[in-house]
Amino acid sequence: MQAPLSYHLTSGDSAAANLRAAGVPGTIHVWHDVLYEGTHEPGWPCAETLCLRARMLEDHTGGGVSFQKALKALRDQYAGLRAAADRPIVLWFDACLFDQSMLVHLLACLRDRPAESVSLVCIDACPGLTRYNGLGELSPDRFTEHYPRRAPVTPSMIGFATEADAAFGHHDGTALRRLASLTDAPLPHVPAAAARRLLEFPDPETGLGRLEQLVLQALGDGPATPGRLFRSVADLDTPPQYWGDTTLWQIVNGLALRRPPLVRIAGPTPRLPLWPGQGDYDTYIIELA
């Protein structure tokens, strides 16, 4: 009898494309959600939580992904995970906050609905890349190389992941600080991800999170287009970079909405569009207020 094909899960379209190009046996799926944003209970979500997550994603994308489209995508991906219970599940993630918050949520879900076999490939560095940010930067041959090194997910990992999923989902500063202090965590990259999440909490003196501070620091060199600002902030940040353009544009818009505003946005609209197709980013200039 032929063994069932593996069910591969990763966090981004680029990583998924390179997994397919690598010829890794099985089906490749991308999980779509931003698990350090919004709130959620640990583990498998109820119908109400899915609606809340869909509304958050609609807001996060400035309507670029509608509530109905987000809700259908969420329902479909949880249904896919449920249906994969009798197949080997392979989780491909890197060490950044975006990936680690997603990883712990998926493992917490698998605590509620166990699968036959779950393994993990977590890559935090790549020889030859001094600023490695994540799986999307790896060539297909790197995925081929790492596939045999996948490690089985243990009960202690799943128990720890459930605790971490609650901390990220509730934005619990006390729990995140405890996670960040660990030196022997069953999932070794979660402490650094928790520490990075804490840096985005408002600073007691300035009221700014780390990414907001980096935007202001980058604009200290002068006005910039969104593309140039993205590159400057990425250079200033410490790898692995967990954020993408939508997150950064949200930060910029938030700084412009402060009273008094900390940045000014000049362009066709008062705020930066948050999703591809909503506007031409080259027509915007951002500067310190």
> Is 2 part of a structural domain of the chain?
no
Are residues 160 and 125 located together in one domain of the fold? yes
What's the pTM?
A: 0.95
Pairing of strands 285-288, 263-266: antiparallel
Strands (E), the chain: 7-10, 27-30, 88-94, 117-123, 151-152, 263-266, 285-288
Number of domains within the chain: 2
Residue 150 pLDDT: 94
> Is 143 part of a structural domain of the chain?
yes
Distance CA 263, CA 289 (A): 4
Intervals of the chain under pLDDT 50: none
Could you tell me the strand order of the sheet in which 7-10 lies? 27-30, 7-10, 88-94, 117-123, 151-152
Handedness of CA 114, 108, 61, 72 (dihedral sign): positive
Residue 2 pLDDT: 64
Residue 4 pLDDT: 80
Indicate which CATH number applies to the domain containing 152. Answer: 3.40.50
Distance CA 91, CA 63 (A): 29
Domain that holds residue 222: 210-288
Tokens of 55: 């509304």
Distance CA 212, CA 255 (A): 7
Residue 113 pLDDT: 85
Residue 9 pLDDT: 98
Distance CA 202, CA 87 (A): 43
Residue 277 pLDDT: 87
Place of tokens 């799926």: 29
Are residues 143 and 17 located together in one domain of the fold? yes
Distance CA 39, CA 171 (A): 7
Are residues 136 and 262 located together in one domain of the fold? no
Residue 226 pLDDT: 98
Are residues 164 and 41 located together in one domain of the fold? yes
Tokens of 137: 């930067």
Distance CA 195, CA 179 (A): 8
Kindly report, residue by residue over 233-275, the tens digit of the pLDDT: 999 999 999 999 999 999 999 999 999 999 999 999 999 999 9
**Distance (Å) of CA 92 to CA 7, 143, 214:** 11, 9, 29
Please identify, among 149, 165, 199, the residue that sits at the C-terminal boundary of a domain: 199
Tokens of 20: 């397919």
Are residues 214 and 277 located together in one domain of the fold? yes
Please identify, among 153, 173, 199, the residue that sits at the C-terminal boundary of a domain: 199
Are residues 53 and 166 located together in one domain of the fold? yes
Kindly report, residue by residue over 213-240, the tens digit of the pLDDT: 999 999 999 999 999 999 999 999 999 9
Nearest to 190 by CA among 115, 121, 98: 98
Distance CA 96, CA 283 (A): 31
Are residues 72 and 141 located together in one domain of the fold? yes
DSSP class of 89: E
Residue 35 pLDDT: 97
